[in-house]
């Protein structure tokens, strides 16, 4: 039952200040009663008794609670210092809090003062009517569990408590060294038993025990639930203490299916606590809210350093109650969600963004099991990159979460936006031996010159090591570019040459691409769009005819570097049928030919077919789907020296940046019989 609503003010002091010196004398409605003041930072290991500060200045002790007291203050993080300098002040009935807050905010020693408001649960009750876990199937959990089940990742459910006796939750409860399941900040004791049912329902969606022949299963069926009870007295100060305690005691993920009762764009004390959580490596997930309103008006769901979740129904439509638009990051199922019923061994369906939020919290637990050191930014990016695109009536972030795609994204060696804006068909890419990426702008340069922009691998493609125009006029679709091992740039003109021959023009790396080291026609007739070219490690030029071959097979023609491309070293058909524009080719360091099928695969995955050089490209050494979705014309591929596959997304990224996705060779999704072969590439 809700206690009589307390009336409190929250104050954060500046450094080297004292709360005793900042409190006004005889504010309206306070009478002569002393102030009751409680430091927010006190560890939650028992009841927290306020200390009293007299109204009269002459009766006050001198700075007994200076905000910088204690030898440890100087070693704290900035986020921890903010909480150390924060206090709550209890106010009697009838006190004029607005005037008190205005006066304190005008004090030079005060950073901010605000009312300690009560927050509410973001769930819409519903009768039990749905007996299937449609949400987990919709977000593709079953195949995701083959990669991770969230083993032992600690998820704090900051809520109404958790029924830790429920048969589908007992085995997945976190416990402290003294056997406690968490903490009750609403009543200041160590028994976080659920009094309402909301928290148990949320906890079940996150981590109900799986494969126990009982009830339901959670998104992360082997994660651990830390019960953090903040309701019914979920004041801002209570929540701030709870968030800090949870992350200090090992929570990596914090589920927050609650928010303000009404529009409230800022909540400084809770925002301070979330910043502290982030500084400790924790990740906060927030329900967007159920007001059918713009989420920007609701703190802390509108913060950029939390993952905010909107709600969808079984048809991927926005749930009519769900808040929307930025800063919602993603959406998840939030209607008719079946989970635990507290104080029973039964199950119940509920709806609300409260029910959507734990789907994402569980997904974050799955992801952290794969990569425990992942930062908030990386987790957010990988989830965003893995969503299924939907068409709700209002924007719900990047899309609806897909657990399998997110976990596959976690297996990438690197996923990052670059300093290069989205590009497109007027750009072509090549990979240097040191993994620098060459972005070659073929046309639309404004300088009437083909340009070279080199993205530095040493700085994760966040900086250029070279940007220059070349002596080559703007080129176009009939040109293709390749990079030699010594970083010379090969310019291959496929048609409209005037010599009825495919031509090679080599731009010298030593001149920073300002001079040519070779101009020559080749033994190959003019080619065109049905040809693709790759460069072998010894600078032989491999011409791959993708279609219109007459032999119903993709063909390989190798022009010899030893004869300056005037003669062939090999003509052969391959083990691959005719291909087309949905294929791209690359060459491994051992001269195996990599055929990358970007779309129309039938598997929903970009595919990887390795033609063996040892068998003159007549047989495959690997054929496999990858962890990369089907791609298409807005992707281009390169093969790194150690056999990693580099996927460069040129446009339609959603980030206004050309993106780099590197698949690690030992993390491709390959049949067991092919793993040894692939490892040798």
Confidence at residue 174, expressed as pLDDT on a 0 to 100 scale? 98
d(CA 307, CA 283): 8
Confidence at residue 2, expressed as pLDDT on a 0 to 100 scale? 38
Whether the bond between 677 and the residue before it is cis, its omega within 30 degrees of 0, is no
d(CA 357, CA 309): 6
pLDDT at 534 over 80: yes
Class of residue 265 by CB neighbours under 10 A (exposed 0-12, middle 13-18, buried 19+): exposed
Confidence at residue 569, expressed as pLDDT on a 0 to 100 scale? 96
d(CA 179, CA 162): 15
CB atoms within 10 A of CB 538: 12
Task: Summarize pLDDT for 374-420 with one digit per residue, the tens.
Answer: 999 999 989 998 899 999 999 999 999 999 999 988 888 888 889 99
Task: Summarize pLDDT for 413-451 with one digit per residue, the tens.
Answer: 888 889 999 999 999 999 999 999 999 999 999 999 999
Confidence at residue 626, expressed as pLDDT on a 0 to 100 scale? 86
CB 379 within 8 A of CB 367: yes
pLDDT at 330 over 90: yes
d(CA 338, CA 349): 4
Task: Summarize pLDDT for 343-374 with one digit per residue, the tens.
Answer: 999 999 999 999 999 999 999 999 999 999 99
CB 426 within 8 A of CB 668: no
> What are 112's two structure tokens?
């901010």
Q: At what angle do helices 353-370 and 198-207 cross, to 10 degrees?
A: 40
Considering all CA atoms of the chain, what is the largest pairwise distance in Å, rounded to the nearest integer? 102
Quick one: average pLDDT of 633-648?
A: 90
CA dihedral 608, 613, 614, 617 (to 10 degrees): 80
CB atoms within 10 A of CB 378: 16
Confidence at residue 15, expressed as pLDDT on a 0 to 100 scale? 87
Per DSSP, 360 falls in state H
Helix H segments across 190-338? 198-207, 236-248, 268-279
d(CA 323, CA 395): 9
d(CA 429, CA 461): 13
pLDDT at 677 over 80: no
Confidence at residue 622, expressed as pLDDT on a 0 to 100 scale? 86
Quick one: average pLDDT of 574-598?
A: 94
pLDDT at 41 over 80: no
Can you spell out the DSSP letters for 29-48? T-TTPPEEEEETT--SSS--
Task: Name all domains of the chain by residue range, CATH numbers in brackets.
Answer: 8-116 (no CATH), 120-410 (3.40.50.200), 415-679 (2.120.10.30)
CB 204 within 8 A of CB 345: no
d(CA 550, CA 164): 70
> What are 214's two structure tokens?
């009982």
Task: Summarize pLDDT for 76-131 with one digit per residue, the tens.
Answer: 899 999 998 999 998 888 788 888 899 999 999 999 999 999 999 875 544 333 35
Phi, psi for residue 539 in degrees, rounded to 5: 80, 5
Mean pLDDT over each residue of the chain, to the nearest integer: 90
Which of 555, 517, 560, 564 lies closest to 536, judged by CA?
A: 560
CB 440 within 8 A of CB 429: yes
d(CA 128, CA 347): 8
Q: At what angle do helices 403-410 and 353-370 cross, to 10 degrees?
A: 30
Letter string b/e over residues 554-571, b meaning 16 or more CB atoms within 10 A of that residue's CB: bbbbbbbbeeebeebbee
Report the percent of the chain where pLDDT is more than 90: 74
Task: Summarize pLDDT for 271-321 with one digit per residue, the tens.
Answer: 999 999 999 999 999 999 999 999 999 999 999 999 999 999 999 999 999
pLDDT-based confidence at 228, cuts 50/70/90? very high
Q: Which residue has the higher pLDDT, 58 or 406?
A: 406
d(CA 379, CA 599): 27
Residue 317's contacts (CB-CB under 8 Å, 6 or more residues apart) are 390, 392, 393
Question: Three-class SS of residue 92?
Answer: coil
Q: Which residue has the higher pLDDT, 175 or 681?
A: 175
Residue 401's contacts (CB-CB under 8 Å, 6 or more residues apart) are 139, 330, 331, 332, 359, 360, 363, 383, 386, 387, 388
pLDDT at 44 over 90: no
CB 206 within 8 A of CB 225: yes
Phi, psi for residue 658 in degrees, rounded to 5: -65, 130
pLDDT-based confidence at 201, cuts 50/70/90? very high
CB 307 within 8 A of CB 285: yes
CB 276 within 8 A of CB 244: yes
Which runs of E-coded beta strand occur in 77-181?
Answer: 86-90, 110-115, 119-121, 154-159
Confidence at residue 1, expressed as pLDDT on a 0 to 100 scale? 33
pTM of the model: 0.76
> What are 258's two structure tokens?
């609650």
Residue 513's contacts (CB-CB under 8 Å, 6 or more residues apart) are 452, 468, 470, 489, 507
Q: Which residue has the higher pLDDT, 629 or 252?
A: 252
> What are 235's two structure tokens?
């004041």
Residues that are catalytic: 159, 198, 354
d(CA 492, CA 512): 18
Letter string b/e over residues 127-165, b meaning 16 or more CB atoms within 10 A of that residue's CB: eeebeebbbbebbbbeebbebbbbeebbbbbbbbbbbbe
Letter string b/e over residues 38-73, b meaning 16 or more CB atoms within 10 A of that residue's CB: bbbbeebeeebebeebbbeeeebeeeeebbbeeeee
């Amino acid at each position: 039952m809700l206690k009589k609503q307390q009336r409190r003010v929250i104050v954060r002091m500046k450094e080297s200040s004292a709360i005793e010196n900042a409190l006004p004398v005889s504010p309206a409605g306070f009478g002569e009663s002393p102030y009751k003041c409680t430091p927010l930072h006190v560890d939650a290991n028992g009841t927290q008794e306020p200390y009293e500060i007299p109204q009269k200045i002459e009766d006050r002790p001198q700075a007994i609670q200076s905000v910088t007291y204690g030898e440890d203050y100087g070693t704290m993080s900035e986020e921890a210092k903010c909480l150390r300098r924060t206090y709550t002040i209890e106010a009697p009935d009838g006190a004029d809090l607005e005037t008190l807050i205005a006066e304190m905010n005008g004090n030079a020693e005060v950073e901010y003062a605000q009312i300690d408001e009560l927050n509410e649960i973001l769930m819409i009750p519903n009768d039990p009517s749905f007996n299937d876990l449609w949400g987990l199937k919709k977000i593709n959990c079953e195949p995701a569990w083959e990669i991770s089940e969230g083993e032992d990742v600690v998820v704090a459910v900051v809520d109404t408590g958790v029924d830790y006796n429920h048969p589908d939750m007992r085995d997945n409860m976190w416990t402290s060294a003294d056997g406690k399941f968490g903490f009750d900040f609403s009543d200041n004791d160590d028994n976080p038993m659920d009094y309402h049912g909301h928290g148990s329902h949320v906890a079940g969606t996150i981590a109900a025990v799986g494969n126990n022949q009982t009830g339901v299963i959670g998104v992360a069926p082997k994660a651990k639930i830390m019960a953090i009870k903040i309701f019914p007295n979920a004041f801002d100060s209570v929540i701030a203490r709870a968030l800090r305690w949870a992350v200090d005691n090992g929570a990596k993920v914090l589920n927050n299916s609650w928010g303000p009762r009404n529009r409230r764009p800022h909540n400084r004390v809770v925002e301070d606590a979330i910043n502290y959580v982030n500084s400790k490596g924790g990740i906060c997930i927030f329900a967007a809210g159920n007001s059918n309103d713009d989420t920007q008006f609701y703190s802390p769901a509108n913060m950029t350093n939390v993952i905010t979740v909107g709600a969808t129904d079984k048809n991927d439509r926005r749930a009519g109650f769900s808040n929307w638009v930025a800063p919602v990051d993603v959406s998840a199922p939030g209607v008719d969600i079946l989970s635990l019923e507290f104080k029973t061994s039964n199950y119940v369906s509920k709806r609300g963004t409260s029910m959507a939020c734990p789907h994402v919290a569980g997904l974050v637990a799955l992801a952290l099991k794969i990569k425990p050191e992942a930062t908030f930014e990386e987790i957010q990016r990988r989830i965003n990159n893995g969503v299924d695109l939907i068409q709700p009536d209002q924007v719900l972030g990047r899309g609806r979460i897909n657990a399998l795609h997110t976990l596959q994204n976690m297996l990438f060696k690197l996923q990052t936006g670059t300093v290069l804006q989205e590009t497109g068909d007027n750009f072509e890419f090549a990979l240097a031996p040191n993994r620098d990426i060459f972005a070659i702008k073929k046309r639309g340069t404004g300088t009437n010159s083909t340009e070279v922009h080199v993205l530095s691998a040493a700085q994760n493609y966040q900086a250029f090591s070279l940007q220059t125009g070349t002596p080559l006029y703007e080129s176009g679709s009939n040109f293709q570019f390749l990079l030699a091992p010594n970083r010379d740039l090969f310019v291959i003109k496929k048609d409209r040459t005037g010599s009825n021959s495919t031509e090679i023009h080599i731009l010298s790396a030593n001149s920073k691409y300002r001079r040519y080291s070779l101009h020559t026609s080749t033994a190959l007739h003019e080619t065109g769009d049905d040809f693709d070219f790759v460069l072998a490690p010894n600078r032989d030029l491999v011409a791959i005819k993708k279609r219109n071959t007459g032999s119903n097979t993709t063909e390989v023609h190798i022009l010899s570097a030893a004869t300056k491309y005037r003669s062939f070293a090999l003509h052969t058909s391959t083990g691959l049928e005719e291909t087309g524009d949905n294929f791209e080719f690359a060459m491994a360091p051992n001269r195996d030919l990599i055929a990358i099928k970007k779309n129309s695969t039938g598997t929903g995955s970009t595919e990887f077919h390795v033609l063996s050089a040892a068998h003159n490209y007549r047989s495959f050494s690997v054929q496999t789907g990858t962890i990369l979705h089907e791609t298409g014309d807005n992707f281009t591929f390169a093969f790194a020296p150690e056999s990693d596959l580099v996927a460069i997304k040129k446009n339609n990224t959603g980030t206004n940046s050309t993106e780099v996705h590197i698949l690690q060779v030992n993390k491709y999704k390959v049949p067991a019989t092919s793993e040894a072969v692939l490892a040798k590439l």
